[in-house]
Amino acid sequence: MGAVHLGGYSFGACVAFEMALQLQQAQRTVGHLVLLDGSPVEIGAIAGRYRGRARTYGVAHEVEFLSSAMCSFMMLFMTVDFIKVHRELLAADSQESRVAYATEVLLQTGLFHERSGLEEAAWSYYKKLVIADRYQVDEHYHGNITLIRTEYGHARSEGRGEDYGLHRVCDGVVTVHRIAGDHVTFMEGDRAVATASAILGHPAPTEAC
């Protein structure tokens, strides 16, 4: 059997990393491990922020976690008054009603036309954050990693370093490529060319803007 090449974006970076660990345990060869603007350390730290907020607001951890997750989910598609929306979500009477609230607001943007699929996506977003919060790296990865991170990622990665904390869980070489844009736009337009070139390991034919 040949080498296995893996890649993952955002939360998918955690999945790709865990797959690499399991292949390593099975004594399989991992060729390229490419993480797109994410790492198990980085995503876990982002999810872990919600624990402290639960104590601040005096509510159950699950209530705060879902309320903040729904605000974040909505912000992927629209501008949100976080404080106002977060307060309304905390005041809802059930977890289901919190997801329904986020779904209804997003439907009003006109970007979506099917309620059940959008509601399922909201639940999925929340569950991914729960998994990231609970995920623990039990051993180091002994291979090399290519991290493609965004120009503006450093603000949310403060204290974890240029490599999103990968030096804590990897014994190999971590090669970092910084791409212009944010967590979404680094995969759009000319920036996508630069991202693809970093994955393939050669200079971009056009300059990222």
What percent of the chain has a predicted confidence (pLDDT) above 90? 61
CB atoms within 10 A of CB 202: 9
The predicted structure's pLDDT at residue 59: 59
**How do strand 30-36 and strand 174-179 relate by DSSP bridges?**
unpaired
The full length of the chain comes to 209
Q: Taking residues 181-202, what's their average pLDDT?
A: 87
The band of 122, judged by pLDDT with boundaries at 50, 70 and 90, is: very high
In the block, tokens 């893996």 appear at 6
Torsions phi, psi for 164 (to 5 deg): 55, 35
The band of 182, judged by pLDDT with boundaries at 50, 70 and 90, is: confident
6-36 per-position pLDDT tens digit:
999 999 999 999 999 999 999 999 999 999 9
96-118 per-position pLDDT tens digit:
999 999 999 999 999 999 999 99
What does pLDDT average to over the chain?
Answer: 87
The band of 206, judged by pLDDT with boundaries at 50, 70 and 90, is: very low
**Residues whose CB falls within 8 Å of the CB of residue 98, separated by 6 or more in sequence, listed in order:** 63, 66, 67, 70, 89, 92
Q: Of 50-59, 84-93, 104-113, where does mean pLDDT reach its minimum?
A: 50-59
The predicted structure's pLDDT at residue 57: 58
